[in-house]
Chains A and B, each alone.
Chain A
Amino acid sequence: MSTFKNLGFLGKCLGVRSYVFQFRFRAKDFPIIPGLIIFLFIFMACFGEFLAPYSATEGNLQDKFLPPFFQANGSMTHPLGTDMMGRDMLSRIMVGARPSFIVVLTVIILGGFGGTALGIISGYKGGTADVVLMRVVDVTIAFPIILAAMLLSVVFGPSIQNVIISISVIIWSRYARVIRGEVLSVKEKDFVSQARVAGCSGLRIMLRHIFPNVVNTMLVMLTLQVGSIIILEASLSFLGAGIPAPTPVWGSMIAKGREYITIAWWIPFFPGFALALVCLSFNILGDWLREAMDPKLRQI
């Protein structure tokens, strides 16, 4: 079995040498197709601008509503057709990967990790900190995300930062609540007492003993939410509270293309298809990751 486990250095950099960074990538079980799709997605996010055959923001109005290559009138000059402004669909999808990727990545780091950290603190410390944090969570969950985003964009103007802030501000609370529940059961286990008996500090117990026990839940939530984060960003763009035009974004491409679905189905279809593929791939990858990291599911 081909194994390589060179992620150890990552853990050493973070000072947490836990199993998270030691698990073995087993080539046999790795989901190849989803992995490739995600790789392509990230690759486009980094280099899509330079690889796109046409400009993503400027089009030729004479070429508008050109169908994809496999339909009559279609040609390989615009393989996925053009939109209502005569812009090349393929180029727009390639360039549009970047804002989606940036939003997903930063929301996961800010909202996902931040929420998990707060959930662990809340669950482990208990007492006043717990009560205060959980009330804040209640308020945040009760607050409609769209409204928060609209407020932010009205006050500060629509921009990618505001989209990220408003999604993270709402989404952290779900992580905090689920992780807190998980921590409440983990912290009663004897190994936590044993760690305290061995002289571990609270921070060390949270980082080394509790976090690795809840990381599976966090990962599953993260991968499940990649899709909904992209869609949230899309609906914000649709309402005009998201990333402003002319930046190509998958969400607003779908939203704008909706009007033309009867005469040019490819305008909303291709960005939607790309979105669905990426979401599905993240979910499958998340499943694999969870199994690869669980010492009990791993056959040694």
Chain B
Amino acid sequence: MDQFVQAVINGIMLGGFYAVMVLGFSIIWGVMGVINLAHGEFIMAGAYTTWFLSKQYGWEPLVSLLVVMIIFFVIGYILQRILINRIIDRPPLISLLITFGLAIIMSNSFKLVFTATPRSVDTLLSGFWRTGNVTVPVTKTTILIVAVLMMAALHLFLQRTRLGKSIRAAAQNREAARIVGIVIAAVYALTFAISISMTGAAGTLISPIQPIYPFMGAVLTLKAFAITAMSGLGSIPGALFGGIVLGLIETFVATYVPGIGTNLGIISSYVILVVVLVVRPQGLFGGLKPVEVR
């Protein structure tokens, strides 16, 4: 029983991280129709930035979060302007190939600069809370709280502000949005910048709990896709649901299938992905097509 409760707690905490990690991916896809295969690499870059700030200046990951978000906002904006904007009107396969190239460039550049040695970030928020035989790690709880706060903030931004509404309008119907005076190029640049900023922040969140290495990205991209397949594009509640489902499945597999460890995490998300795609190609919530950002 304790083992079960422990697995549920761990799964939900992992799921909170997955939910915040997937948002950038599903919003870029939902709003712009660009499938960002370099998504995991941006998470990796965010984690490395946090590691660098922590090692060089001794910053807490939670403090770096804001800095990382600003840095990645700027990077995302520039990248959208010089690269993604060129291919936005071309078939999505072009964007697949471009971001695939980008992913390779990023992971290998980071390997060149930081070597392939796995790194880890220390945080003051370590330790455990203990109730009976169930332990609740403080770091992961903090991550879950921050993740939920970030999602709530993004939700409010998309629902309540003019800019957020224009992003949703552009996702729903680009031509109509243009007609009512929304500058599509600006909205896309903003969308990309916000998404990349969220993605970099996800890297900061993951940095205290997982080893950081240059090739961690591909697995995360795949998980992002599996969650998006479950949750639909751009849906924040859906992302939370999909993230927690994946987190629970991964933890339960790791807990109850002996002798296999965490490698099965990627396999289980892959199985979910293929099963969802084959059984319900439109996604569990009917969202695997560009629809409104909720």
The finding on whether chains A and B are genuine partners in a shared complex, rather than unrelated, reads: no
| Interface of B toward A, CB cutoff 8 Å | none
